[in-house]
Structure formats: structure tokens, C-alpha cells
């Protein structure tokens, strides 16, 4: 089969990803194999390719927003999955289920967790393996291309809204407007929230307005009213003080980034007034279940741009340089 492999991380503009012929993997006990049709490409894949975060082993096949059909099943998977089922593979590949974090429902913090396209080979390939208990059944109404961005950008955006403590009717600020934010705004609007979007790119501001943003501007600008909650999607630590300045006393800023440049020194007055600053670390399987249920209530407008698998480098270059509205999606076959 064909797979995109990373052997030596480098600037994505120097094309470190290589399309190779590799052996088709065989499922072990508790695993299923998917024959893939699409896989989303996001900032986490970019951080892996450029060496901002370091997989435990190299080479590795990135990709953790994979959609495909189950074409092989290992022993011990139970009867819930069968050949021909269409499923999605998210970032969380495995959690142990027995540690204190897992027992508290915090699989995302499990010290034994493994992640798709990071600890194990991911979805930039014709086929991949997944743990049977961690694949997500997909709503039939979604096309494969629509479903792929939901499996990371959508799920982590949903978790970010929850981590920020967003309540219906509040004023929510989104800093950065890429693949995750363009889905999170639709959830926030479904909850009757007023949304302000902070982004430099004019085409992203227009996109946000089309999706219901009440105000758009740069992070240096003041929105019409203080924010109740805010989410930082851009991996830029210098934006943290600016976001806190826009937040009302008692409000919360959640940082949705697996990698963030350094946060500068903060004057205490930016946190005083019982403001809260928190991070968003991965997502649980339950987050995925809950978010995909929202597709029954929200007619998500999922923006994506298609790329052949062989052009994975170009896809991530476009992600890096903010050339897209929404998500980059790699097409197999």
C-alpha cells in the first residue's frame, strides 16, 4: 500500500514527508484495519512534521482524522463492529481504562495513552490499524470529506468550549480561525452565544462573519463588549495577554494548542478578578461521542480543501501559511 512517512522532521516548506510503498498492516487482537478514503491534515500533523513535538519513534505515518471502511478484524473485538462498517479514527488511539485519570473520565490525561499518527502509524495512508474500542461510528448523512475534520478539529473545539465553561447566551471570543474554530463557532451559535473572532486574515474574518460572528477584528482590537469566555486556537503565546485583556472578571480563557510558543510575563492584574487560564489537552472518547451527536442538531457547514495523498506536504504548507478556510483533507486512491 501507499503511506506518507516522516523520517527526519524539517520545515514543511522543505517537504519532509515522503510517499512510500509499505506492507499493508495486519490487525492484532483488539484491533481493526480500515481501508481509508480520506484523512484530515491539521496543525498537530504540522507540528510533528516540523519537529515541534516529538513522536516516540521515527519513521511515523501522521494523520489522526481518518475515515474508512473496516476490512479486517482481529480477535477479541466483540460483536459491535463488523466488516464493511464505516468508522472514524480520532487522535486518541488508546487509554488504559484502569488508572486514576481513566476512572475519573479523564482518558485524555491517561499516562499510558497512545495517540494516532504520533505513537502509532496514522491515516496518511491507504490503510491503517485502530483499537476497536476507540473508533467512532459516523452519522450516515456526513460524507467522508465532511466527517474527517469533525474527528479532531470538531472534537477538540467542542472540548475547548466545555473547558472554557461556555454557557448558553454568553459572549465568546475565538482567537484564530482555522479548522477547529470554524466548527466551534457553529456549536457556540447553536448555544445562542454571541461570538467575536480575532484573526489577522481578511478571508478568515469574512468566513467567520458568514458563520455568524457578531464582530471580527485583530487581537489588538477591542470587541464591542468584554468576553465571558475565550478560546485561543492560534499557537502563539504572545496572544495570551491580549486575550486576557478582553476577558471580563470571572471569565475563562482556554488554550487549545498541543504546542504553543512561550507565553510572555503576565501582569497579575490580567488574572486578578478571578479570571481563569486553562489548557486543553487532547480529548476523550466520550467527547467524540457527544460531539458527533450534535450533528443531529446542527447542520454543520464543514469547509475543506481536497489534496491527493501524494501532496501531503503541500496540504500542510497551506495549513502553516493560513491559505485555507477550514480543513485540508487528503484523498486516498
Angle at which helices 155-163 and 181-190 cross, to 10°: 60
Residue range 221-231, pLDDT digits in tens: 999 999 999 99
Average pLDDT over residues 225-240: 96
Dmax (CA) of the chain: 58
pLDDT at 333: 80
pLDDT grade for 77, boundaries at 50, 70 and 90: confident
Cβ atoms within 10 Å of 76's Cβ, excluding its own: 10
Residue 46 cell numbers, joined: 504540522
Residue 83 cell numbers, joined: 466488516
pLDDT at 261: 93
Share of the chain above pLDDT 70, in %: 100
Residue range 156-210, pLDDT digits in tens: 999 999 999 999 999 999 999 999 999 999 999 999 999 999 999 999 999 999 9
CB-based burial of residue 20 (10 Å sphere; 0-12 exposed, 13-18 middle, 19+ buried)?
middle
Give the integer Cα–Cα distance in Å for 263 and 218: 19
Residue 32 above 80 pLDDT?
Answer: yes
Residue 233 above 80 pLDDT?
Answer: yes
Average pLDDT over residues 44-63: 97
H-assigned helices in the chain: 43-50, 100-103, 144-149, 155-163, 181-190, 202-210, 239-245, 285-293, 312-320
Cis peptide, bond prior to residue 323, ω within 30 of zero: no
Whose grid coordinates read 473496516? 70
Q: Which domains are present in the chain?
A: 2-137+303-331 (3.90.180.10), 155-279 (3.40.50.720)
pTM: 0.94
Q: Is 78 left (phi over 0), alpha (psi -120 to 50) or beta?
A: left
Residue 78 above 90 pLDDT?
Answer: no
Give the integer Cα–Cα distance in Å for 315 and 41: 7
H-assigned helices in 52-119: 100-103
Amino acid at each position: 500500500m501507499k503511506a506518507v512517512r516522516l523520517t527526519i522532521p524539517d520545515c514543511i516548506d522543505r517537504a519532509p514527508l515522503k510517499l512510500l510503498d509499505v506492507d499493508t498492516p495486519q490487525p492484532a487482537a483488539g484491533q481493526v484495519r480500515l481501508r481509508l478514503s480520506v484523512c484530515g491534515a491539521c496543525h498537530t500533523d504540522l507540528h510533528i512534521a516540523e519537529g515541534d513535538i516529538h513522536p516516540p519513534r521515527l519513521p511515523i505515518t501522521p494523520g489522526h482524522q481518518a475515515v474508512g471502511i473496516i476490512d479486517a478484524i482481529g480477535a477479541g473485538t466483540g460483536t459491535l463492529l463488523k466488516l464493511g462498517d464505516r468508522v472514524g479514527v480520532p487522535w486518541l488511539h488508546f487509554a488504559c481504562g484502569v488508572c486514576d485519570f481513566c476512572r475519573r473520565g479523564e482518558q485524555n490525561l491517561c499516562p499510558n495513552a497512545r495517540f494516532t499518527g504520533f505513537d502509532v502509524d496514522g491515516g496518511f495512508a491507504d490503510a491503517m490499524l485502530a483499537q476497536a474500542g476507540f473508533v467512532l461510528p459516523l452519522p450516515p448523512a456526513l460524507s467522508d470529506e465532511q466527517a474527517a475534520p469533525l474527528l479532531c478539529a470538531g472534537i477538540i473545539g467542542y472540548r475547548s468550549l466545555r473547558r472554557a465553561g461556555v454557557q448558553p447566551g454568553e459572549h465568546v471570543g475565538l482567537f484564530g480561525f482555522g479548522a477547529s474554530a470554524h466548527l466551534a463557532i457553529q456549536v457556540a451559535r447553536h448555544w445562542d452565544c454571541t461570538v467575536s473572532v480575532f484573526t489577522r486574515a481578511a478571508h478568515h474574518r469574512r468566513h467567520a462573519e458568514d458563520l455568524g460572528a457578531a464582530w471580527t477584528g485583530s487581537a489588538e482590537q477591542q470587541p464591542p463588549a468584554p468576553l465571558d469566555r475565550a478560546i485561543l486556537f492560534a499557537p502563539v503565546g504572545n496572544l495570551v495577554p491580549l486575550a486576557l485583556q478582553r476577558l471580563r472578571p470571572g471569565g475563562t480563557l482556554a488554550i487549545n494548542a498541543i504546542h504553543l510558543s512561550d507565553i510572555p510575563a503576565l501582569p497579575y492584574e490580567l488574572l486578578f478578578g478571578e479570571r481563569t487560564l486553562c489548557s486543553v489537552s487532547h480529548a476523550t472518547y466520550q467527547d467524540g461521542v457527544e460531539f458527533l451527536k450534535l450533528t443531529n442538531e446542527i447542520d454543520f457547514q464543514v469547509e475543506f480543501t481536497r489534496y491527493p495523498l501524494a501532496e501531503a506536504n503541500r496540504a500542510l504548507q497551506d495549513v502553516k501559511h493560513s491559505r485555507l478556510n477550514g480543513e485540508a483533507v487528503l484523498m486516498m486512491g
